[in-house]
Structure 1
Amino acid sequence: MSTATTTRIVTASRHMTGFWFVGIAFLTLMAFGTVPTPLWSIYQTRDHFGATTVTVAFAVMVVGAAASFRLLGHLSDRLGRRRIIVPALLVGILSAVVLAVWPDLPGLILGRVLTGVAVGLMASTATAYLTDLYSEARPAEVGSPKPGLVATAVNLGGLALGPLVAGALAQWGPAPLHTSYVVFGALMAVLLGLVLSSPETVDTEAADESRPVRFALRPGQGAVFGAAAAVGFFAFAVMGLFSSLGAIIVRGELGITSYFVAGLAPFTAFAASAVAQLAVGRAPLAKVLPIGTVLFPIGLALTAVSLYRPTLWLALTAAGLAGAGAGLLFKSAVTQTVIAADPASRAGVLAAFFVIAYFGLGAPSIAFSLVIQHIALKPAMIGFATILSVGTIAAVAIALRGGSTQRVGATQRGGLVGGSAGRGDQ
C-alpha cells in the first residue's frame, strides 16, 4: 500500500470519526434543550406558575436561539466549523451550571436564554459540519442524503431524548430540579474534548480572504428556500406545543402525576419524527412531503380529540402521528435549504432557516397559552390544530406548485448536496 493511499485512509477515518463525534454532540445539546419539559409541572407547583409563565420560560430559549442564529450562525463559513461548535458546548455547559445552582425563576430564564444561544450556535453549524465531514470521509458519495438524514435525526432525536431522560431522573433520581442539568453538563464536557479532536473542514485562510456572503442562495432558489422556511415554521410549532405544555396537559387532563409519564408525550412526538425520517429517509422529497402533510393534521386532530376522551394511549398516538408528520416535513425543509444555499454560505443560509423554524417553536405556543386564559382548552386546541394544519398544507402546496420539489430532486441527482466549504485538516 502506497503512502498516499495510507494517508487517504487515515484522513477519511479521522473525518468519519469526527462525523460521529459531532453528531453525538449535536444530539446531546438538543436533548439538553428539552430537559425542562417534564419538570415544568414541578416548577409550576413550587412557584405557582401559570401556563403562560411556563410557556414564556420555555420560549426564551427560542429568543436566545434566534439571536444566536441571526448574529453568529453564519460565522462558521469563515471562522471554521469547530471554532463555533466548541463555544456552543461551552455555553451549554454554562447553562447547565446556572440551571442546576439557581432553580428560581430568574435563574431559569437566564439558563434558558443561554441554552438557546448554545442551540443557535450548534444547529446550523453542526448541520453544515456533518455534510462537510461526510463529504471528506466519503468523496465518492458526494450528494448522499446520509449527512442530512443524520443531522435531522439527531436534531429531533435529541429533542426526544431530553424529556425522557429528565423524566426518568426526576421520577427515580435525587433532586429532580438539579440532577438532569448536572448529568447533561458532564456529558457536554466530555464531548467538548472529542469535538476538539475532530478535523476542521473549512479553509479559514481562503474563506477569510473571500469573505463568504452571509446569506447567498443558488440562482433561482429563492422560492425553494421560502417554502422550506414556511414548512419548518409549522413543523416546529407543534413541537413547541408538546415541549412547553405537553407535560402539563398530560398531568392536568389525564390526572397522571408521574414525571416519567409526563415526559412521554413530548418524547413520543420527537421520537416519532426521528423514526419517520429514518423509515423514509431515502425516499424522494416528492413522496416525503405528501406523507408528512397527511400525518401532520391527523395527529393534530387526534390531539384535540384526546382532550375530549382523555386516555394515555390516545394522547401518545396523537403525539406520535403529529410528530412523525412534523419530522418528515422538517427533514424535507432542511434538505431543500441545504440544496438552495450557495455552498460557501451554507451555514448562513441554514442559520436563517433555523431563525424562522425556531420562531415557530416559540411564538405559536405563547399565543396558545394566552388564548387558553380566555377560551377553554378544548376549543382552543381545535383552533390551534386547524390553523397549523391549514398553514402547513398551504406551505407545501406553494412548494409543489412552484416546482421546488422537482428542482430539489434534480439537484440531488446532480450531486449538489454535500461538499465542504474547503479543506483545512487542522
Structure 2
Amino acid sequence: MSLLTEAKPEIRQRPAAFAAVAAILVTFAAAAAVPSPLYVVYQHLWGFSAATLTVIFAVYVAALILALLMLGALSDHVGRRPVLAGAVVLEAVALLLFVLAGDVTTLIAARIVQGVATGAALSTLGATLIDLNPRHAPGRAGLVSGIAPVAGLGVGALGSGVLVEYAPFPTHLVYALLLAGMIAAGVAVALLPETAAGRPGGVGSLVPKLGVPARLRADLLALVPIIVASWALGGLYLSLGPSVAADTFGLHDHLVGGLVVTLLCGAGAVTSFLLRAVPTARVLTIAGTGLAVGGVTAVGGMVVGDLRLAVAGTVLSGIGFGAASLAAFGTLARIAAPHERGELMAVALVISYAAFSLPAVVAGVVAGRVGLHETALGYGGVVAALGALALVIQARPLVIQARSKKA
C-alpha cells in the first residue's frame, strides 16, 4: 500500500480542502516575500546599512527555524487544525506590526513573529497536503509542496513591487491586503477536516530537535547538496536582489525590485509544473545544471554590465531552483509515513532555510566592507559551484540507484 493512501478515504476525497490548504501555503509564502521590494524603501526612510538589512532578513529565518524545530512535529500529535489556527493568528499579528512599523526595531519584531508563524505553518501545511492527496493523483501533494512556496514568493514580491511603485501608502497597503487574506485563511482552517489522528507526546515534541527515521536518512542526505544550492540562491535574491539591481544596473524602480525575485521564482514555479512527470534523477540533473549555468551567466552579466545576460542567468537559475524544489519535496512526500510527515517536512525546511539565511547574512556583512557589487559576484560564483557539486554527487551510480527506487 502506498504511504500516500493511508489517510482516511473520506478525507482523501475532499478536493476543496486540498485546494484551500494549497492557497494558504501560497499566501504564507507571498507574505514572506512582500518585504523584499520594501527593504529599499525602509533603507531610504530610516537610513540603515546593507548589514542591518540582512539582519532584518536573518531574524525572520532564525525564528522560522526555531519554530520548525519546536513545532514541526506538533501537528502529528495534536492535529493539523490547531497548529494551523495558531499560525494564522500569529501571522495576522505580524502583519499588524508591519502596518505600525516606524523604525527598525518594530520591523525586526514583525519579522520575528512572522518567522514563528511561517515555521509553524509550513511543515503542517505540507503534511496536510499529503494527508489530503487524492488517490487518483498520488504525486500531487509533492508537486504542490514544491510549486506553492516558490510561486508564492514570486507573487508576493511582484505584488509588493507593483503596490509600492504605483499605489498609495507603500509601506501599509500591501500588509492590509495580506491581513484580509489571513482572515480568509482563518475561515478556511475552521472549515477544514482534521486529517491527523493525533498521538501522545505533544509536550515532548516541543523540545527542539531534528529527527529523521533511519530508513529515510540516505534519501534525505542525497538531497542536501541541491537543497542547499537552490535555497542559498533564493536567499541572495530575496535579501539583496533589489539592492543589487539598483547598485549594479541603476534600476531604482520598485517594480523592478519585485521583478528580480519574480523572475527567479516564476521560472521556478513553471519549471516545477512542467517537470512534474519527469523521473526524479533527471529532475535533479536539470536542477544542478540550471543552478550552475545560471549562476555563471548571471555573474557574467554583472561583470560586463549586461542586463540581458543577468536576466537570462536569473531565469536559468530559477529553472534550477524550481527543479530542485520539485525533486526534494516530491521525494519526501512519497517516502514519508503518515506519522513521520510533520517531522520530516520540518527537517527538510530547516535545511532549506538555514541555507536560505546564513549565506545571506554573511553576504550582508561582507557587502559593508567590499561593496554590494563585489559581494554579489562572489555569492553568485559560490552558488554556481554548489550547483556543479550537486551534479557531481548526483552522478554517482549508487546515489542515482537509491533515488530511482523512489521515483
TM-score for both structures, normalised by structure 2: 0.91
CA offsets 1:62-106 (integer angstroms, 9 cap, x no match): 011100000111111111112211211111111000011123101
CA offsets 1:308-345 (integer angstroms, 9 cap, x no match): 33344333322211121022112212233334544312
Deviation at 1:408, TM superposition (A): 3.5
For 1:83 and 1:396, locate their aligned partners in 2 and report how far apart those are by CA, in whole Å: 41
State whether residues 171 and 260 of structure 1, in contact with CA within 8 Å, keep that contact through their aligned partners in structure 2.
Answer: yes
Q: Residue in 2 aligned with 1:352? A: 347
Q: Which moved more, 1:218-227 or 1:399-408?
A: 399-408
The letter of the residue matching 1:30 is A
For 1:399 and 1:347, locate their aligned partners in 2 and report how far apart those are by CA, in whole Å: 27
Q: Residue in 2 aligned with 1:200? A: 194
State whether residues 142 and 331 of structure 2, in contact with CA within 8 Å, keep that contact through their aligned partners in structure 1.
Answer: no
Deviation at 1:198, TM superposition (A): 1.2
Q: Residue in 2 aligned with 1:306? A: 301
The letter of the residue matching 1:110 is A
Within 5 Å, give how 1:246-257 maps onto structure 2: 246-257=241-252
The letter of the residue matching 1:325 is G
Deviation at 1:11, TM superposition (A): 5.5
Q: What secondary structure does 1:208 align onto?
A: coil
Q: Please report the RMSD computed on the Cα atoms of aligned residues, expressed in angstroms.
A: 2.3
For 1:173 and 1:39, locate their aligned partners in 2 and report how far apart those are by CA, in whole Å: 13
Distance 1:249 1:345, change over 3 A: same
Structure 2 residues not aligned, in runs of 5+: 1-7
Q: Residue in 2 aligned with 1:386? A: 381
Mapped pair 1:321 → 2:316: yes
Q: Residue in 2 aligned with 1:293? A: 288
Distance 1:133 1:342, change over 3 A: closer
For 1:67 and 1:210, locate their aligned partners in 2 and report how far apart those are by CA, in whole Å: 17
For 1:385 and 1:131, locate their aligned partners in 2 and report how far apart those are by CA, in whole Å: 34
Q: Residue in 2 aligned with 1:139? A: 135
CA offsets 1:233-262 (integer angstroms, 9 cap, x no match): 221111010101111111222222211112
Pick aligned residue for 2:276 from 277, 281, 295: 281
Q: Residue in 2 aligned with 1:332? A: 327
Mapped pair 1:59 → 2:47: no
For 2:73 and 2:394, locate their aligned partners in 1 and report how far apart those are by CA, in whole Å: 25
Q: Residue in 2 aligned with 1:191? A: 185
Deviation at 1:384, TM superposition (A): 2.1
The letter of the residue matching 1:392 is G
For 2:19 and 2:353, locate their aligned partners in 1 and report how far apart those are by CA, in whole Å: 25
Within 5 Å, give how 1:107-122 maps onto structure 2: 107-122=106-121
Deviation at 1:197, TM superposition (A): 0.6
State whether residues 228 and 337 of structure 1, in contact with CA within 8 Å, keep that contact through their aligned partners in structure 2.
Answer: no
State whether residues 331 and 406 of structure 2, in contact with CA within 8 Å, keep that contact through their aligned partners in structure 1.
Answer: no
Q: Residue in 2 aligned with 1:22? A: 21
For 2:377 and 2:244, locate their aligned partners in 1 and report how far apart those are by CA, in whole Å: 15
The letter of the residue matching 1:275 is V
Q: Which moved more, 1:42-51 or 1:64-73?
A: 42-51
State whether residues 250 and 256 of structure 1, in contact with CA within 8 Å, keep that contact through their aligned partners in structure 2.
Answer: yes
For 1:374 and 1:47, locate their aligned partners in 2 and report how far apart those are by CA, in whole Å: 21
CA offsets 1:343-378 (integer angstroms, 9 cap, x no match): 312110110111111011111011112222333444
The letter of the residue matching 1:221 is L
For 2:306 and 2:173, locate their aligned partners in 1 and report how far apart those are by CA, in whole Å: 30
Q: What secondary structure does 1:257 align onto?
A: coil
Give the total of aligned pairs.
397
Distance 1:64 1:341, change over 3 A: same
Distance 1:9 1:279, change over 3 A: same
Q: Residue in 1 aligned with 2:3? A: none
For 2:204 and 2:106, locate their aligned partners in 1 and report how far apart those are by CA, in whole Å: 38
State whether residues 65 and 118 of structure 1, in contact with CA within 8 Å, keep that contact through their aligned partners in structure 2.
Answer: yes
The letter of the residue matching 1:107 is T
Q: Residue in 2 aligned with 1:123? A: 122
Q: Which moved more, 1:177-186 or 1:333-342?
A: 333-342
Mapped pair 1:243 → 2:238: yes
For 1:409 and 1:43, locate their aligned partners in 2 and report how far apart those are by CA, in whole Å: 47
TM-score for both structures, normalised by structure 1: 0.87
Distance 1:393 1:253, change over 3 A: closer
Q: Residue in 2 aligned with 1:406? A: 401
Q: What secondary structure does 1:169 align onto?
A: helix
